[in-house]
Structure 1
Amino acid sequence: MAKKPRKQFTASENAQRWLLWTATAIITCIAFEALAVTTAMPTVTRELDGEHLFALANGITLAAQLITTALAGQWVDAKGVKIPLFLGLTLFALGLLVCTAAPTIEIFTIGRLIQGLGGGLCVVPLYVLVGRLVPAPRQPKFFAFFSAAWVVPSLIGPAISGFLVQQAHWRWVFAIVPVLLIVILPAIIKVLSMLPGMEFTGSLSTIRSTAVIAIGAGGAAIVLQVMSGTESDSFTPLTFIIIGVAMVSAMAFIRPLLPKKTITLARGLPSTVAFRGIINGTFLGIEVYLPLMLQRVHDWNPFEAGLTLTVGSITWAMGSFVQARVIDPGKRQRLATWGSGILLLGAAGTIPVAWSSVSPVILIVSWALAGLGIGIAYPAMATHALALTPIERQGKTSSALQLSDTLGASLAIAVAGIVFAFVSGQGTAAFVTLLTVMTALAAFAFLVSFRVEPKVTSPGLTNSAPTR
């Protein structure tokens, strides 16, 4: 007997509005912290005597997200969204409070680890709520708002962070978001009470093995980030062996948690998931080092350097609204290629600014292009991936997207840090090499963009999402 299709629940118009604004507020808090931390991190690591742990302190949050993001998809599909969401928000806030009070770079890094564990539990429930309760034609609007949730933080986050670092203390940067989360907590409770009941029939039978796999992938990423703290004259053959083993291990551990053949870039959902991780890693791998480059090479202060991130975030939001207005299926199929091509141009444009004689204005223009490109491609791939996925597996696909995002960013930041440390750790040569490697990654993303559509089997028909 054929299996009865899972009933599609739809939230009321009022509940959808509350969900839209509340989810956007949560992502806004996460975005504020990401942008503010990036601006403050050069000062944090300098004052805590931890510049050798710059890449680790930046990237360990993403590595930790790998662990809980992997668990979140299975947990949500089996038990629902409420407990993972509230636990995630609690851990996220707790990690920030640890960072606020940290007396050493080691304690600070532990706080970033806890923050990442919480962040990995926050986003998957929101994606699942949209996938289950929002009609497909309205989903692009939600994902556009999720991307636009970076706009306000991009306008005020770097400015506030730079101001606090210069005029007060960097610790205030980490104390703001926990307060904001307390303020919006009543709204979160209200919107969850308004949503219709949903069936969650997934199984937790394999969650222990999933945890082992996720810890292995996250641990391998952390090892890579630790290696980024190696002094330039301390690289040995053993160092490169450890780096190679950690990279292969991260890929091997994460493979079972992604759609089948994601690592080998099979067409359709596997390449869609991989593509998201690659473009996210490219963008963040560059962005993390832009404030540092502007401060070291061009003598900009933290406030000025942070404003560069504002430009990229604004154009990211612009790009996300552009893709949301593209309704024609044929044109939507090309969004990945258009977006990654523009991102490639923007990434390449940052390289000349590593020389002090080149005006930083070129960097601002280039980063605006990069933001526009990823803004077009990134949210479009969320809608595309969910469209390729049966409703009962959307939690797993949402988790896979977030895992790919965090793995891509974590590995890219680690690789950028290793390259930066190997070349010398500071100066023009280090930044040129780092930016060139990241631009090569952007070029690879452009090639992968041609594989996000499923293989055509007959005129007008495509294969459905691959099953495992």
Structure 2
Amino acid sequence: MTSEPERDIATGILGPAHRRLSIGIVATVVFIAFESMAVATAMPTAVPELDGMALYAFAFSSFFTTSLFAMVVSGELCDRQGPRLPLILGTASFTVGLLLAGTAQSMLPFLAGRATQGLGGGLVIVALYVVVGRAYPERMRPKIFAAMSAAWVVPSIVGPLVAGLLTDELSWRWVFLGIAPLVLIPVALALPSARAVDGPPPGGPSDRAGRKRFALATALGMGLLQYAGSRADAIAIGVAAVALVALALNVPKLLPPGTMVLRRGLPTVVAMRGILAGAFFGTEAFLPLLLVAERGLSSTLAGLSLTGGALGWASGSWYQGRTKTVAPRYLLVRVGCLLVAAAIAAVGLALIPSVPVVVSVLAWTVGAFGMGMSMASISVLLFQLSSVGDHGANSAAMQVSDALFSATFVGLAGTIFGSGHGGAGDSTGVAGVDTWIYLVILAVMAGLALVGAWAAGRVRVTTA
């Protein structure tokens, strides 16, 4: 008799019909994840060499700003022509961006390379989601989403180490140039299957097309907000006001109607992606700093908390994809939100000297388990509630929600943090912050996660 694992291999995501595509998708995510982790390690060396410290933040924001615009473009291309074209264009753009950044001799070309990478990343990630929606039957989607989450684990562990070695022993440029030719391999594996599901959907494209101008205005608004945050004068106030107006007018046009008021069904599914991302990443951005400044950990040891988070996330995503996991999806999302809220509260225990640091680190791993379980379930729900003609538009909306909430709440945490900086820092520049400021940040993020736990029931179309 054939065992269950053997049946899963024969008929699952690694079965003959899907093996090549599954490997291609997972490998693509691995390279994108590795680049994301590695760039953060190489940036402190690269930017000073390019004489661009004044533009340091833009090395990150330029990527996220252009990727947001590209997500919407990719969604429209997928719904009109299929996922193959944005997959090809995105791979080419990401590769060109790597080459531009790796060969840059000054900061502006480097920023151009990062922006080009962002375009490629945004095009590719939405196209991959559409391929999943079209190529995999519903019963397989939880498993492929689990595999995509697991693809972040190894890069989270080895990415900073490899990038550090390349930067110290060779040059930071190899962090970009070394990966450029490798990106083409996994996409080449996925392209034949993408071609098989290419073309407009049977019911015609989404009726939510023509949103590129709103995406462009939103991206510009985010860029202006980042610019305002880099200044401390009256100009910053004016720029921030313009940016906020642009965001308020255009963001609702990029999301399903009713998203901002948590309308039952698809709008809440899309909103939940952002709520979870905002709460989790708003906390994670300051977790290593808290452990270094308040508990005296080294940067390496503090960074291990993020590695634990990557492992927890992958485990949670694996759990929701198990055949034996029979809990309804809304309940998985709700429990995930509660685990995230509890983990954020437990991070605050690190501020008590008598509490071992490992308590907060382990709690963060459990919170990441909740994130993996919830985020993968949200992706499954998205396709359950979307017609084939809306796969691209709704996948883009989900990614946009993620990016917007993450940027908003990480920025909010930064503003709160800045308000409590006493300026009496030590030689590392991380002390001199009132302890209560960390508690305010954690309270805001935990509150957001609890809002998600309440809203999770609204992902169901009916109350049954």
Pairwise same-fold verdict (TM > 0.5): yes
Q: Which residue of 1 aligns with 2:8?
A: none
Matched, 1:346 2:350: no
CA displacement at 1:157 relative to structure 2: 1.1
What are the within-5 Å matches in structure 2 for residues 117-132 of structure 1?
117-132=119-134
* Residues 432 and 243 of structure 1: CA distance in aligned 2, closer, same or farther (over 3 Å): farther
- Which residue does 1:5 correspond to in 2? none
Do 2:289 and 2:430's aligned partners in 1 also have CA atoms closer than 8 Å? no
SS at match of 2:450: helix
Answering whether residue 450 of structure 2 is matched by residue 446 of structure 1, we say: yes
* Count of equivalent residues: 445
For residues 289 and 379 of structure 1, the distance between their equivalents in structure 2, rounded to whole angstroms, comes to: 24
Distance of 2:407 and 2:253 partners within structure 1: 18
Contact 2:83–2:194 (Cα < 8 Å) also in 1: no
Contact 1:77 1:396 in 2 (8 A): yes
Give 1:431 shift: 8.6
* SS of equivalent to 1:15: coil
Where relative contact order (Cα < 8 A, 6+ residues apart) is larger, the structure is 1
- Whether the 8 Å CA contact 1:269–1:452 is kept in 2: the answer is no
Cα offsets for 1:413-453 (capped at 9, x unmatched) = 43344444554485342896367436513421321333244
1:341 deviates by: 1.7
Match of 1:114 among 108, 113, 116: 116
> Match of 2:161?
159
Give per-residue Cα distances to partners, 1:346-377, cap 9 Å, x unaligned: 33344565799987645533432332221111
Aligned-partner SS, 1:317: helix
CA 1:42–1:334: 2 relative to 1, 3 Å: farther
Alignment of 1:180 onto 2:182: yes
Q: How do residues 329-340 of structure 1 correspond to structure 2 at under 5 angstroms?
A: 330-340=327-337
Q: Distance in 1 between matches of 2:104 and 2:357?
A: 34
- Which residue of structure 1 lines up, in the alignment, with residue 17 of structure 2? 15
Structure 1 residue ranges without an equivalent (≥5) = 1-9, 461-468
Cα–Cα, structure 1 residues 175 and 138, in superposed 2: closer, same or farther, change >3 Å? same
Contact 2:283 2:445 survives alignment (8 Å) = no
The question of whether the paired residues in 2 share the 8 Å contact of 1:335 and 1:376 is answered with: yes
Percent identity reads: 32
Q: Which residue is 1:466 aligned to?
A: none
Q: Does 1:378 align with 2:367?
A: no
Correspondence for 1:226: 227
Q: State whether structure 2 residue 321 is matched by structure 1 residue 315.
A: no
Distance 1:436 1:319, change over 3 A: farther
Greater mean alpha carbon deviation, residues 139-148 or residues 440-449: 440-449
In the TM superposition, what whole-angstrom CA distance separates every residue of 1:91-143 from its partner, at most 9, and x where no partner exists?
A: 11222222223344444333222111111100111111211221111110011
Partner of 2:260, secondary structure, is: coil
Q: Aligned with 1:263: secondary structure?
A: helix
User: Contact 2:206–2:393 (CA<8 Å) still a contact in 1?
Assistant: no
Give the TM-score taking structure 2 as reference length: 0.83
Question: Contact (CA 8 Å) 2:268, 2:459: kept in 1 or not?
Answer: no
Partner of 1:102: 104
1:387 aligns with 2:368: no
What amino acid does structure 1 have at the position aligned with 2:90? Answer: G
> Structure 2 CA distance, aligned partners of 1:100 and 1:418?
32
Instruction: Determine the structure 1 residue equivalent to 2:173.
Output: 171
Deviation of the 1:222 alpha carbon: 1.4
Aligned to 1:411: 408
CA gap of 1:122–1:432, structure 2 versus 1, over 3 A, is farther
Provide the rounded CA distance (Å) in 1 between the counterparts of 2:374 and 2:462.
27
Q: CA RMSD in A?
A: 3.5
2:280 is aligned to: 283
- Paired with 2:409 and 2:276, the residues of 1 have a C-alpha distance of 10
Partner Cα separation in structure 2 for residue 49 and residue 256 of structure 1? 39
Instruction: Identify the range of structure 1 (264-273 vs 173-182) with the bigger mean alpha-carbon deviation.
Output: 173-182
